[in-house]
Amino acid sequence: MSKTIFLQTYGCQMNVRDSEEVLGMLRAQGYEIAEEPEAADVILLNTCSVRQHAEERAFGKMGELSVLKQERPDLVLGIIGCMAKLRQAEIFKRLPRVDLVAGPAELYDLPYLLAEIQEQRQQAELVQGAGLGVGGNNGLPRTPNPEPRTRVIAVDRPYRPLEKKPAGDYRRDRVTAFVTIMEGCDKACTYCIVPKTRGQEISRPAEEIIEEINRLVEAGYREVTLLGQNVNSYGKRFPDGSGYKGPLGRLRLLEEDPGALLDFPQLLRLIDASIQGLAGPATAPPHASSPRRTIAVVGSGRMGALAPCHPPGLRIRFTTSHPFDATERLFAAMRDCPSVCEALHLPVQSGSNRILRAMRRGYTAEAYLRKIERLRQLVPEVSLSTDIIVGFPGETDEDFEATVRLMREARYDNAYIFKYSPRPGTDAAAREDDVPQEAKEERNQVLLKLQEEITLARHRALEGCLVEILVEQRGRFEGQWFGRTRGHHGVIVENPEDLLGKLVQATITRGTAHTLFGSLHGAADHRARRPDGGGEVRRRGGAGAVVGGGDRLLRFDAGLPEDAGPLAGPHPRPAGASPTPPH
């Protein structure tokens, strides 16, 4: 009889995707997925360490689940992901019934680790069956072990061996999909624990990424989000040791042999070319204008032509981007690639240069603003979102005012505001957490209110505009559908027929601070770009008039707008979720 697995996910999209990969690997090993923990032989929690709250929720949940072991001692309990890497000793101390702890870099080992637990248990049964229980060598009678106690720990890899993923994949959603393009982070932001949990950066070879996207399109997916802690440093290091190594290496290649540089902008172009069906036998560099062009993949240890894949219609998104590595080359790729959505999440964290320096972010507020100004020149309809931390150690009223000024200037479509809390193990945790809780709360509220005003204004500007929507799920009420624009705007439309997975066009009829409502115009097979390269957003009765600022990224952590209702839709927010891979 096959075994069953229950897996609960905490954290960001990268954890959601990791969980899908784990379920896929274990299904390939014969496991079935259980919807409830009570029905499972193996229970795993895929955990997050970015905030203490998420860790405590995982500890609490596993504490509850441990009770199941009283009735079923053969149950396997495991904690995987970031918390496993960071809190291994504490996990076994607080949760003595846990059998397995495996970090993010060891997830591909899970089939073997679970087999190891079975083997250890069989050995223990053999010992007990032979009457070799505890004690006995001092004249006292042997006593049988009360419950098979196994402890398998795997947390030591510096990074995930991307080339060694076992067979099998699984995705809950059928319309949108995550594709991991790189893992880990080589930055050292002083508040962030991620480099310690996820390890060094490592990028997947481009061929594998494009093959995976091709398979998704063949399976009917309409949107792919490329995932990584810092997608903008894609290509720095590949599993075979190749890669441009660092910012200087990238600059050197750009000067000496730009055709040989495989970085993130180039990856976007390769993916887009594949989506547009332009890829063909190797004859010209990727930037050539030939309608059938070579896609020479250099720097992934392999070079070869990529097969054309599928009709246009797939949307590409990506997250997360570090501002230091977001270059004009990236903005140009966003402008040039029709499949790449006009949406960028660019976490600024603070508007104060003093605080940015203390956070070790590697840019100033002025440099950041210059970048988004240039982005808006190249991609006028782009939708921009950000992350901001208030109350970082030493943040004064003046520092906070600088953040308010930056937000007013940047006019984000959406912003995720976080109150600073120290994470043990980070450099910032060694500093005094000296901003009072009330001040953090007040600053948080000021920024939330400011962003709400900006978002409402941007939504109102969209009223009367024609937008393309990918319908992702049903709305709360009969005949209601929820979809997203290319700018990741959440829009509710009404239609009696099934629209799931369809690209449709709608006119925005009403914009509130949290939701857009639209009226349908009919199905669209793929994005129709204007000949002048502008966006697809048009004023009703005024075809071609681009609306400044594009549309807004709907808050991931706010779930769906109230009007859309609680939906069992794509990428349901995992417990304790962060909206994006932490930045």
User: What are the residues binding ligand SF4 (CB under 6 A)?
Assistant: 185, 187, 189, 192, 194-195, 229-230, 322, 582-583
Shortest CB 54 distance to ligand SF4, Å: 15
- The residue (of 333 and 359) whose beta carbon lies closer to ligand SF4 is 359
- The residue (of 386 and 505) whose beta carbon lies closer to ligand SF4 is 386
Q: What is the DSSP letter of 468?
A: E
Residue type, 502: K
- The residue (of 50 and 554) whose beta carbon lies closer to ligand SF4 is 50
Query: Among residues 186, 160, 197, 182, which one has the least CA distance to residue 83?
Result: 197
- The residue (of 214 and 319) whose beta carbon lies closer to ligand SF4 is 319
Shortest CB 225 distance to ligand SF4, Å: 17
Contact call for residues 137 and 104 (beta carbons, < 8 A): no
Contact call for residues 46 and 78 (beta carbons, < 8 A): no
Torsion over CA: 55, 108, 247, 380 (sign): negative
Shortest CB 198 distance to ligand SF4, Å: 8
Strands 202-203 and 182-183: antiparallel
230: its two tokens: 């810092």
Strand partners, 518: 508
User: Residue 220 class from Cβ within 10 Å (0-12 exposed, 13-18 middle, 19+ buried)?
Assistant: exposed
Shortest CB 192 distance to ligand SF4, Å: 3
Shortest CB 578 distance to ligand SF4, Å: 11
Shortest CB 232 distance to ligand SF4, Å: 10
Q: Which H, E and C letters describe 11-54, residue by residue?
A: CCHHHHHHHHHHHHHHHHCCCEECCCHHHCCEEEEEECCCCHHH
Shortest CB 189 distance to ligand SF4, Å: 3
466: its two tokens: 């024609």
- The residue (of 191 and 244) whose beta carbon lies closer to ligand SF4 is 191
- Between CA 115 and CA 189 the distance in angstroms is 38
Rounded to 5°, the CA angle 315-321-322 comes to 170
Shortest CB 194 distance to ligand SF4, Å: 4
Q: Which H, E and C letters describe 456-483, residue by residue?
A: HHHHHHHCCEEEEEEEEEECCCCCEEEE
- The residue (of 176 and 385) whose beta carbon lies closer to ligand SF4 is 385
- The residue (of 107 and 189) whose beta carbon lies closer to ligand SF4 is 189
- The residue (of 322 and 376) whose beta carbon lies closer to ligand SF4 is 322
